[in-house]
């Protein structure tokens, strides 16, 4: 497994480089206006300079999170509860992050993210179960602030303070998404070097992330001005979102697809380490391979929806769900007691990540077209509730059994869940197949943003 993991990573990085080079070559002329503006480039650089360390710090926790809890000799059921508390914190933070950011200010919200995530990482140095639980809750609250606070600050500064054309926004966020993929790959290799090559243990990536958060916070304090959004009441936001869900069956089906698909992804995030770790898999390298596969999927989405191939996001969404269903079907036969096939499991995990790279930009496009802008926050808050509930219940109930049997049962249940997601996709497609608003114009290229 050691050699396989390295070869897979190198192959995926080579494929991603080829796809990105082709994409950059084809769109070079379309962004020449923004890149030729010195004031815009300076402003963009100031944003990236503070944003990139925050992204890197966030990704460093990924490869060795489960391994750290296992290293502290906690049982799988106890670790599952820690993850479930993180899911619950994510739901609550999603509900309050919008009003909080509006009242506190976007710059202060970015600082709050750095403080919360630093607290999360410092808690991981303790072996006390409740301290670790607290750390996971802090991590859940910080997760919703990362993209919403930083990107909303940039959007306001871009359009309101500097008065740059709104057409330049997608270039910044598309470039940020590309950087995010590269940072995730580098974070996995760096975490692997600290934890395994140097032998500092699974807590070392968390320690390394804290100075990055301090750097990001210092740059935000020094370079950024405060801006405030319009803060609507929590009750009104959720009420508007619920009314939108109930009056539009398309939005309801979209929420069902998101809850079913992304709850399976959350369970995958929990399960990949106990499946691969017993077989001498370098966890950081495996994590980097997952992130590279995700980035390849995002590049393939842009290629598939380009003028050359004319695939629509709805088609790509259906393909991504099918890919995950097939992967989970593979995993039910490669993780059973006495039937462990780690290479097949690794390939299935990579296929799941590739599908996620296709899924998130397709889902983002459909959300923008189906959900009115003023109701998006409330609708997305409602989407998160069943998503985290499904993931939490799956982890709590299926791990009462034997580890290997429980893992196989969980993958089987996830396959059934993904089948329900596929049925929801088919139902949605039957409703919108003749809707011109849900089709990409031949000249349009959608930029994808990160959601995991």
- Which tens digit of pLDDT belongs to each residue from 409-441? 889 999 999 999 999 999 999 888 877 777 776
| pLDDT tens-digit readout, 166-210 | 888 888 888 888 889 999 999 999 999 999 999 999 999 999 999
Whether 168 and 218 share a structural domain: yes
Q: Is residue 8 one of the residues assigned to a domain?
A: no
SS3 state at 266: helix
The more confidently predicted of residues 50 and 101 is: 50
Please tell me the chain's helix, strand, coil percentages from 3-state DSSP, rounded to the nearest 5: 80, 0, 20
Q: Is residue 317 one of the residues assigned to a domain?
A: yes
Residue 433: per-residue pLDDT: 81
Whether 147 and 75 share a structural domain: yes
Kindly state the average pLDDT of the residues 238-262.
86
Distance CA 204, CA 196 (A): 10
Residue 24: per-residue pLDDT: 63
Q: Is residue 93 one of the residues assigned to a domain?
A: yes
Percent of the chain with pLDDT over 70: 90
Whether 185 and 50 share a structural domain: yes
As given in the structure block, the two tokens for residue 22 are 């082709």
Q: Is the pLDDT of residue 405 over 90?
A: no
| pLDDT tens-digit readout, 145-161 | 887 788 889 988 988 88
The more confidently predicted of residues 74 and 246 is: 74
Percent of the chain with pLDDT over 90: 46
Q: Is the pLDDT of residue 28 over 70?
A: no
Q: Is residue 196 one of the residues assigned to a domain?
A: yes
Residue that finishes a domain, picked among 231, 257, 285:
231
Q: What is the mean pLDDT of the chain?
A: 85
Whether 215 and 250 share a structural domain: no
Whether 283 and 221 share a structural domain: no
Whether 108 and 181 share a structural domain: yes
Q: Is residue 72 one of the residues assigned to a domain?
A: yes
Q: How confident is the model at residue 229 (pLDDT cuts 50, 70, 90)?
A: low
Environment class of residue 101 by beta-carbon count within 10 Å: exposed (0-12), middle (13-18) or buried (19+)?
buried
Q: Give the global pTM.
A: 0.90
| pLDDT tens-digit readout, 282-324 | 999 999 999 999 999 999 998 888 877 788 899 999 999 999 9
146 CB-side CA count, 13 A:
26
As given in the structure block, the two tokens for residue 123 are 């808690």
Q: Are 58 and 146 in contact (CB under 8 A)?
A: yes
Residue that finishes a domain, picked among 203, 231, 259:
231
Q: Is residue 89 one of the residues assigned to a domain?
A: yes
Residue 401: per-residue pLDDT: 54
Q: Which residue has the tokens 């990579």?
A: 350
Domain housing 367: 241-452
Residue 446: per-residue pLDDT: 41
CA distances from 180 to 92, 97, 356 (A): 25, 22, 15
Phi, psi (5° rounding) for residue 211? -60, -30
The more confidently predicted of residues 19 and 441 is: 19
Nearest Cα residue to 191 out of 167, 208, 174: 208
CA distances from 69 to 122, 323, 338, 405 (A): 14, 31, 25, 21
230 CB-side CA count, 13 A:
4
Residue 117: per-residue pLDDT: 95
Whether 262 and 208 share a structural domain: no
Q: Is residue 61 one of the residues assigned to a domain?
A: yes
Residue 442: per-residue pLDDT: 54
Q: How confident is the model at residue 231 (pLDDT cuts 50, 70, 90)?
A: low
Whether 321 and 445 share a structural domain: yes
Taking phi first (over 0 means left), then psi (-120 to 50 degrees means alpha), and beta for anything else, what does residue 310 get? left
Residue 447: per-residue pLDDT: 41
Whether 223 and 263 share a structural domain: no
Q: Is residue 29 one of the residues assigned to a domain?
A: no
Residue 310: per-residue pLDDT: 80
Distance CA 164, CA 160 (A): 8
Q: Is the pLDDT of residue 72 over 50?
A: yes
SS3 state at 446: coil
DSSP annotation of 73 reads: T
User: Of 180-194, 224-238, 360-374, where does the model show the most confidence?
Assistant: 180-194
Q: How confident is the model at residue 351 (pLDDT cuts 50, 70, 90)?
A: very high
What CATH number is given to the structural domain containing 271? 1.20.1250.20
Distance CA 230, CA 102 (A): 6
Residue 30: per-residue pLDDT: 47
Whether 217 and 281 share a structural domain: no
b/e burial code for range 128-147 (CB count within 10 A of at least 16 → b): eeeebbbbbbbbbbbbbbbb
Residue that finishes a domain, picked among 205, 231, 257:
231
Q: Is the pLDDT of residue 33 over 70?
A: no
Number of folded domains that form the chain:
2
Whether 65 and 202 share a structural domain: yes
Q: Is the pLDDT of residue 16 over 70?
A: yes
Give the Cβ contact number of residue 207 at 10 Å. Answer: 16
As given in the structure block, the two tokens for residue 404 are 């290997």
Taking phi first (over 0 means left), then psi (-120 to 50 degrees means alpha), and beta for anything else, what does residue 199 get? left
Distance CA 272, CA 411 (A): 11
Whether 260 and 226 share a structural domain: no
């Amino acid at each position: 497994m050691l050699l396989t993991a390295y070869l897979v990573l190198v192959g995926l990085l080579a494929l991603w480089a080829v796809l990105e080079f082709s994409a950059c070559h084809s769109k070079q002329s379309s962004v020449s206006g923004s890149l030729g503006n010195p004031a815009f480039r300076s402003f963009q650089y100031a944003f990236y300079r503070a944003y990139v360390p925050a992204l890197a710090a966030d990704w460093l926790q990924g490869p060795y999170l489960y391994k750290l809890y296992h290293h502290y000799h906690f049982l799988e059921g106890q670790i599952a509860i820690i993850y479930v508390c993180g899911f619950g914190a994510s739901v609550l933070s999603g509900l309050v992050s919008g009003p909080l950011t509006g009242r506190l200010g976007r710059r202060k919200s970015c600082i709050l993210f750095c403080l919360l995530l630093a607290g999360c990482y410092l808690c991981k140095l303790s072996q006390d179960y409740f301290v670790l639980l607290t750390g996971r809750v802090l991590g859940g609250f910080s997760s919703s602030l990362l993209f919403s606070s930083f990107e909303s600050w940039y959007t306001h500064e871009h359009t309101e303070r500097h008065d740059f054309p709104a057409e330049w926004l997608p270039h910044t966020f598309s470039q940020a998404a590309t950087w995010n993929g590269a940072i995730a790959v580098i974070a996995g290799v760096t975490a692997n070097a600290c934890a395994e090559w140097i032998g500092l243990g699974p807590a070392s990536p968390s320690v390394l992330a804290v100075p990055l958060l301090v750097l990001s916070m210092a740059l935000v304090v020094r370079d950024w001005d405060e801006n405030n959004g319009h803060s609507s009441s929590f009750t009104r936001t959720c009420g508007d979102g619920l009314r939108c869900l109930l009056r539009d069956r398309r939005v309801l089906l979209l929420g069902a697809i998101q809850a079913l698909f992304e709850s399976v992804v959350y369970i995958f995030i929990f399960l990949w380490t106990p499946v691969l770790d017993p077989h001498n898999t370098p966890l950081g390298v495996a994590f980097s391979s997952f992130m590279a596969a995700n980035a390849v999927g995002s590049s393939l989405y842009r290629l598939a929806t380009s003028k050359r191939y004319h695939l629509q996001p709805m088609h790509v969404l259906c393909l991504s769900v099918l890919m995950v269903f097939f992967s989970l079907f593979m995993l039910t036969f490669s993780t059973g007691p006495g039937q462990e096939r780690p290479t097949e499991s690794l390939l299935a995990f990579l296929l799941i990540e590739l599908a996620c790279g296709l899924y998130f930009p397709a889902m983002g496009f459909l959300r923008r077209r189906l959900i009115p802008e003023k109701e998006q926050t409330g609708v997305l808050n409602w989407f998160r509730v069943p998503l985290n509930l499904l993931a939490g219940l799956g982890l709590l109930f299926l791990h009462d059994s034997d580890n290997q049997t429980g893992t196989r049962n969980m993958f089987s249940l996830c396959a059934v869940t993904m089948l329900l997601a596929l049925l929801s996709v088919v139902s949605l497609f039957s409703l919108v197949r003749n809707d011109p608003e849900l089709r990409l114009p031949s000249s349009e290229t959608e930029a994808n943003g990160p959601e995991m």
